[in-house]
Amino acid sequence: MTKDIAYKLIERDPTGARRGEFTTAHGVVQTPAFMVVGTEGFFRSTMPKDIQETGTQIALANTYHLSTAERFATVNRCGGLHRFMGWDGPILTDSGGFQVFSLPDRKIEEEGVTFTFKEGDKPIFLSPERSMEIQRTLGADIVMAFDECVGYPAEKEYVRRSADRTTRWAKRCREVSLGEHQFLFGIVQGGVFPDLRIKNAKDITSIPFDGFAIGGVSVGEGHDLMKSVVDHTAPLLPDDKPKYLMGVGMPEDLLEAVRGGMDMFDCVIPTRFARLGTLFTRTGKLRIKDKTYQKDKYPIDTNCGCYTCRTYSRMVLRYLFFSGDPLACSLATIHNVTFYQDLMRGIRSSIEEHRYEEFSRAFLQIYRKHQSQT
């Protein structure tokens, strides 16, 4: 068993939003927290120091992508994922479940899953034990149990069988020894069916994990069903452990999930959108490639203090995108990640001051009122 993650509840807002912190070998994480995704062990187009300067506390990397022989060997030769990434803060690795189960050619059995990365490749077998062994070697601070992530829509009977299999796999994951500094989180599944979520939450929380996650959202179910899943599941997770909503998401989704009592989030949206030229501002999203910004001398967001907004105008950033220069993606990523981390800082402060509802309402009123179509 790993040592205690030492989750501390600092304040609870009347809405149910939680302000807390937990401790890892690579630092303390203030929650609610948004994890920036470095899928293949790096932040696309952006240096780790730039991500760190946005206020990002914890990064996420993907076991599925790092499990190929050459990549895995390279990380191992580096002495682990922290040195490989050039990131000295906490890291969470997901189990690979979401990515594996999104592949069209896969075979799911009780022992694990057989899949291929590309057509014609040699089949790869991933079991709960193998996922744990890979994540142990990667050396992340937080390791996720191997689960089956079912897409939406799905037949209820299949979701039921899948959730039960996730429980059996979770028990097998917990039996595998990890590094002394590593924590293991369990994942609750059950699709969009409240009764299945309730049962699986009971089953998964009976296993002595260090934290708990809600999985199987952001798979096409939409905002309202995501909210329903959180409403039915989050209260069933232990209050003395971190609560992680996987794969979420848009600012409005984060705000709703925080109200539901969730502590941790991750999503590729801020970084992927940035590389495509969609930027987040306090008055909504904007497409920097639009002709509207051809002569615009303002920063992306006049209320943002990031390096990009302090240094470049919209028209220059637009020019860089059309020039095809990688600097455009770097600058856009710095801005979008800063926007997300500014939002999380505002969330944490508002919970401390028992004004989360006011903060959330005011943010969304401005954000939605002026939001551009993306």
Positions marked catalytic: 94, 266
Phi, psi of 256, deg, nearest 5: -70, -40
Dump the DSSP string for 57-110. Answer: --EEEEHHHH-SHHHHHHHHHHTSHHHHHT--S-EEEE-SHHHHHTSSSEEE-S
| Contact (Cβ atoms closer than 8 angstroms) between residue 138 and residue 81 | yes
Tell how strand 142-144 and strand 91-94 pair up: parallel
Q: Quick count: other Cβ atoms within 10 Å of Cβ 185?
A: 26
DSSP structural state of residue 25: T
Written as one letter, the residue type at 365 is Q
Pairwise CA distance, residues 237 & 200, whole Å: 11
Phi, psi of 64, deg, nearest 5: -55, -50
In terms of residues, how long is the chain?
374
List the structure tokens of 330: 């770097």
Pairwise CA distance, residues 184 & 39, whole Å: 19
Q: Quick count: other Cβ atoms within 10 Å of Cβ 202?
A: 12
List the structure tokens of 205: 């929380």
- Of the candidates 57, 62, 27, the residue with the CA atom closest to the CA atom of residue 41: 62
DSSP structural state of residue 215: -
Pairwise CA distance, residues 101 & 191, whole Å: 14
